[in-house]
Amino acid sequence: MPRWAFMSLAILPALAAALGLRLGWMTATLDESRIIERYARVYEAAGGARADCLARPGKRGFERLVVVCVPPDRPAARHVWAVGPWGQLLRADTPRTRDSTPEDAAT
C-alpha cells in the first residue's frame, strides 16, 4: 500500500476523533444558564428586560432549549430562539424576522 494512502486512512479517523472530543467538551461545559443569558442579552440590547425571558426544553430534533422573551405590555412582540446542543441558533422568531418580507431581503 502506498504511503500516502496509509496516511490518509490514518488522518481521517484522527480528525473524526478530534471533532468528537471538541463537540463533547462543548456539550459538557455549556450549561442552560449560559445559553439563556446569551439570548437574554440579545433581547436586552433590543430594549427589553432580562426578567422577561424564560426557557423550556426543546421538542423538535436537535433542540436543546427554546428561549422565549415576552414584554409584559406587548405580548405580540415576543422573541423566540430555538437553540441546539452546542448553543447554536437553530431558528429565530422575533418581531424583526416576522415583519420582513421577501422584498425587504432583496434590498
Report pLDDT digits (tens) over 51-83: 999 999 999 888 999 999 999 988 888 999 999
What's the pTM? Answer: 0.72
Which strands make up the sheet holding 89-93, listed edge to edge?
53-57, 65-69, 79-83, 89-93
**pLDDT tens, position by position, 2-56:** 777 788 888 989 999 999 999 888 878 889 999 999 999 999 998 889 999 999 9
